Chains A and B, each alone.
Chain A
Amino acid sequence: MADIGHDAADYAPPAELEEVDLYHAKSWITKYVFSQDAKVIGIQYALTATAIGLVALVLSWLIRLQLGFPDTFNFIDAAGYYQFVTMHGMIMVVYLLTALFLGGFGNYLIPLMVGARDMVFPYVNMLSFWIYFLAVLVLVSSWFLPGGPTGAGWTLYPPQAIMQGTPGREWGIIMMLLSLALFIIGFTMGGLNYVVTILQARTRGMTLMRMPLTVWGIFVATILALLAFPALFVGAIMMLLDRVLGTSFFMPHIVELGEHLKYGGGSPILFQHLFWFFGHPEVYIVALPAFGIVSDLISTHARKNVFGYRMMVWALVAIGGLSFIVWAHHMYVSGMNPYFGFFFATTTLIIAIPTALKVYNWVLTLWKGNIRLTLPMLFSLGFIVTFVNGGITGLFLGNVVVDVPLSDTLFVVAHFHMVMGVAPIMVIFGAIYHWYPLMTGRMLHEGMGKFHFWITFLGAYLIYFPMHYLGFLGMPRRYFEMGETSFVPESAATLNEFITVTALIVGFAQMVFLFNLYWSRRNGIVAEKNPWHANSLEWQTPEMPPGHGNFGKELPVVYRWPYDYSVPGVEADFIPQNVPAGGTATGAE
């Protein structure tokens, strides 16, 4: 019987590459510590990112305590507050989200999903993790050095970042810049691996247009990262030289504490350009893997093929390309040439087109699907809602005239937390609930998961929705305390208290999640093989969790795209990628 799957074939071209010669670990240390297995490296990345992310979470509580209850906690002073804000932002964006999506999910999923035994250069891949680890240590070390971590704001704008009065001017800023440089070197080593593995090491039959969107998302994001991080790298080196050697790349003639500094003639705006040439692609480095993963989660848990697969792929590529020509929308109030504003507003608004297309396609994938309200599905729905919300405020901010009054207010904070904080984190949670059985062989606890979802989703709304309003009132971001301010009414203080309390509750829910991760490892329900009845290759391995080399003796052969769910005329509601046209799904009987 011929099935009418999307591009199902009963033919796959012969193998072009000989079997890789895989490194086999000989001792515990080379197996679990200095491991060259992408799956272990992925988990190492994920655990390190989670650990440092926890630090950032605690910092967010401290920030909120100060904002909700000013003059109450004497262990938070102004300097400390700026350090919390800075480290919170930088850790969340770079050391948690980037590392977790690309280093964590990228390493674990890419080889499995494209049908490879490992990354193409496992040794370099191992170095990548350890350099990342070193970068985290260097970052953390700034807490223990004189002056503490930097308080320059996560954007690290000079001249203030390296001047007296900014906390951490002594060592914090140096450690931050060094750590970023290390991170970039480490990331590049991993990123080259991801890209080459996807381009050059797929299994038989796995054309680019048969790759799961997860792989596409990570692929495009990695390319963005390889092209965007250089700008940050250069900016970091130049600021380091300004701070340590007294060069004046970014430093104009300037007076500090009544004293003329030796600096002069540099361009502070140059740093902003370098930073945002990295910074805007960076938000898509985080967003694109989330887009990819959520497409797969939605399709699998709604038992329906992704709507408009090709469009989804091209939208990822288009967003990736466009994201390089919008960076100065972060600089409307920087004093750059106003004509730039017009150009960058236009490109910024154009990005909304491919982005909206993706949102429509997710919704159309759900449309008339056989939706199962599993935890991954709940989080995916949460993602769509929060992402649309944040995307729309992005359109506000993309227009120069609207942005100018809203810039540097809590409205911006609300925008980027919705779109880059909450939405991708929703996907990360969904992905963990989805792939945890693959990684450990057990399911996460459903009850704890539901609790976690509802508190996080509703809580996030209660936290960030009011911030839009506070922003409209003109409440500035990055202020230690507001004092007596005529344009901010009394009620704003009450609202801030409410936000703080909610934030603490949501923080607590994350502890439940972490406990769930720990508890289910031993006590969770043992997962059947391919528990979600998914099509992509990572679920078709002979063992679960997949062993060293991923696929046993023979690499899988791919005959179709990964979205053959509920194909008419076929009894099972899914057909894995390695089933030839006319064959039946293994494990479907």
Chain B
Amino acid sequence: MTQTAATNPNQLDGTQGAVSDWASDQRAFKNVPWGKAMMWIFLLSDTFIFSCFLISYMTVRSSTKIPWPNTSKVFGLNVNGVEVPLLLIAIMTFILISSSGTMAMAVKYGYERKRKMTTALLLLTALFGATFVAMQAFEWTKLIHEGVRPWGNPFGAPQFGATFFMITGFHGTHVTIGVIFLLIVARKVWRGDYDTGKRGFFTSRKGNYSIVEAMGLYWHFVDLVWVFIFAFFYLW
């Protein structure tokens, strides 16, 4: 056993080598921390949830006989007497996409162990996220004032309100959860928990900076989903 330790008989070349690498012992994805692997798989599952929501939305939109409301009107804002279509939503989208940028930078500084920078960027990301949710709340309020309800609305098919509140609500919940976790992670980075190996309150596990990256994956995902919701809801 000892004398052969230098030569690994499992080593193969070419495609066989690729397969055997992937199936190789201990870890299928080398150098991928557990948390990150878990986040990827969770996001895959979550993708299926959002896909089902969006496909259902398309189905009911095409199966209802009552015409769909004119979205560029319904989602328009009246600024000083001028109707600007999609104004609010454009700002919301811009903010959310910017927050992905700050998140990516937070991950970078996290791995460089620049605690202050990471904390600041995480907080900024959280702030963007919270702004997004606030603007969404504003949009909901506006629509509700105009009489849009899950079971009906004055503009057209009742499924409009139903799908709108359900899907943006589900997405907004994701953003809100993300903001909460951003704040928690920011606090941990600030305190230096990931440098000192302080144990988590609930899990009693030691954390490290890969948690910032897993957080980032979630955030980018929520962002990406928004792009689809935006396209299917507001532009169609």
A interface residue numbers (CB < 8 A to B): 9-13, 15-17, 21, 23, 120-123, 188, 191-193, 195-196, 199-210, 226-227, 229-231, 233-235, 237-238, 241, 245-249, 262, 264-267, 270, 274, 277, 558, 580
- Cβ contact within 8 Å between A11 and B150: no
CB-based nearest B residue for A245: B150
- Cβ contact within 8 Å between A196 and B41: yes
The one of B8, B29, B34, B65 that contacts A265, using a Cβ cutoff of 8 Å: B65
A17 to B27, alpha carbons, bound, how many Å? 9
Chain B CB count within 10 A is highest, among A199, A241, A270, A580, for A199
- Cβ contact within 8 Å between B151 and A123: no
- Cβ contact within 8 Å between A238 and B166: yes
- Asked if A241 meets B63 with Cβ closer than 8 Å, knowing A16-B27, A196-B38, the reply is no
The one of A200, A230, A241, A249 that contacts B48, using a Cβ cutoff of 8 Å: A230
- Cβ contact within 8 Å between A206 and B26: yes
Sample of 30 A–B contacts (CB below 8 Å): A9-B10, A10-B1, A11-B5, A11-B7, A11-B8, A13-B24, A16-B27, A21-B205, A23-B203, A123-B205, A192-B42, A202-B27, A206-B26, A208-B23, A226-B41, A230-B48, A230-B49, A234-B53, A234-B56, A241-B162, A245-B151, A247-B161, A247-B162, A247-B166, A248-B162, A249-B56, A249-B60, A265-B60, A265-B64, A580-B1
- Asked if A192 meets B38 with Cβ closer than 8 Å, knowing A11-B9, A204-B26, A206-B26, the reply is yes
B144 on interface, CB distance cutoff 8 Å = no
A69 to B60, alpha carbons, bound, how many Å? 44
- Cβ contact within 8 Å between B25 and A204: yes
* A512 → chain B closest CB, angstroms: 41
- Cβ contact within 8 Å between A248 and B151: yes
B118 on interface, CB distance cutoff 8 Å = no
Q: Tell me the B19-74 residues at the A interface (CB within 8 Å).
A: 20, 22-30, 32, 34, 37-38, 41-42, 44-46, 48-49, 51-53, 56, 59-60, 63-66
- Asked if A226 meets B60 with Cβ closer than 8 Å, knowing A10-B4, A265-B65, A558-B25, the reply is no
A15 to B163, alpha carbons, bound, how many Å? 51
Q: Tell me the B89-147 residues at the A interface (CB within 8 Å).
A: none
The count of chain B contact residues (Cβ–Cβ below 8 Å) is 54
B172 on interface, CB distance cutoff 8 Å = no
A21 contacts across to B, CB distance below 8 A: 205-206
* B121 → chain A closest CB, angstroms: 26
A233 contacts across to B, CB distance below 8 A: 49, 52
The one of B32, B150, B166 that contacts A246, using a Cβ cutoff of 8 Å: B150
- Cβ contact within 8 Å between A234 and B52: yes
Chain B CB count within 10 A is highest, among A23, A200, A233, A237, for A200
Chain A CB count within 10 A is highest, among B7, B150, B170, for B150
CB-based nearest B residue for A233: B49
* B18 → chain A closest CB, angstroms: 13
The one of B28, B44, B53, B158 that contacts A264, using a Cβ cutoff of 8 Å: B158
B77 on interface, CB distance cutoff 8 Å = no
**Complex interface bits, B158-198 against A, C-beta within 8 A gives 1, otherwise 0:** 11011100100010000000000000000000000000000
- Cβ contact within 8 Å between A265 and B158: yes
A558 contacts across to B, CB distance below 8 A: 25
- Cβ contact within 8 Å between B27 and A200: yes
- Asked if A199 meets B37 with Cβ closer than 8 Å, knowing A192-B42, A246-B151, the reply is yes
B interface residue numbers (CB < 8 A to A): 1, 4-5, 7-10, 20, 22-30, 32, 34, 37-38, 41-42, 44-46, 48-49, 51-53, 56, 59-60, 63-66, 150-152, 157-159, 161-163, 166, 170, 202-206
* A196 → chain B closest CB, angstroms: 5
- Asked if A209 meets B56 with Cβ closer than 8 Å, knowing A192-B38, A200-B37, the reply is no
- Cβ contact within 8 Å between A207 and B24: yes
- Cβ contact within 8 Å between B56 and A270: yes
A589 to B37, alpha carbons, bound, how many Å? 43
B9 contacts across to A, CB distance below 8 A: 9, 11
A204 contacts across to B, CB distance below 8 A: 25-26
- Cβ contact within 8 Å between B28 and A199: yes
- Asked if A12 meets B25 with Cβ closer than 8 Å, knowing A230-B49, A247-B162, the reply is yes
B28 contacts across to A, CB distance below 8 A: 199-200, 208
* A297 → chain B closest CB, angstroms: 24
A248 to B159, alpha carbons, bound, how many Å? 6
A231 to B51, alpha carbons, bound, how many Å? 9
- Asked if A265 meets B10 with Cβ closer than 8 Å, knowing A200-B27, A202-B27, A207-B25, the reply is no
- Cβ contact within 8 Å between A121 and B38: yes
* B233 → chain A closest CB, angstroms: 16
The one of A23, A122, A188, A249 that contacts B159, using a Cβ cutoff of 8 Å: A249
A122 contacts across to B, CB distance below 8 A: 203
A276 to B8, alpha carbons, bound, how many Å? 47
A241 contacts across to B, CB distance below 8 A: 150, 162, 166
- Cβ contact within 8 Å between B25 and A196: no
A10 to B2, alpha carbons, bound, how many Å? 9
A123 to B201, alpha carbons, bound, how many Å? 11
A207 contacts across to B, CB distance below 8 A: 10, 20, 23-25
Assuming A201-B26, A262-B152, what are 15 further A-B pairs, CB within 8 angstroms? Answer: A188-B42, A196-B37, A199-B29, A205-B25, A206-B26, A208-B22, A226-B45, A227-B48, A230-B46, A230-B48, A230-B49, A230-B52, A241-B166, A265-B64, A277-B52
- Cβ contact within 8 Å between B25 and A202: yes
The one of B42, B60, B202, B205 that contacts A267, using a Cβ cutoff of 8 Å: B60
A267 contacts across to B, CB distance below 8 A: 59-60, 63
B203 contacts across to A, CB distance below 8 A: 23, 121-123
- Cβ contact within 8 Å between B45 and A200: no
* A321 → chain B closest CB, angstroms: 14
- Cβ contact within 8 Å between B49 and A265: no
* A270 → chain B closest CB, angstroms: 5
A191 to B150, alpha carbons, bound, how many Å? 33
- Cβ contact within 8 Å between A238 and B27: no
- Cβ contact within 8 Å between A265 and B66: yes
B205 contacts across to A, CB distance below 8 A: 21, 23, 123
* A210 → chain B closest CB, angstroms: 8
CB-based nearest B residue for A237: B166
B41 contacts across to A, CB distance below 8 A: 192, 195-196, 226
- Cβ contact within 8 Å between B157 and A202: no
A195 to B27, alpha carbons, bound, how many Å? 12
The one of A11, A193, A227 that contacts B4, using a Cβ cutoff of 8 Å: A11
B170 contacts across to A, CB distance below 8 A: 237
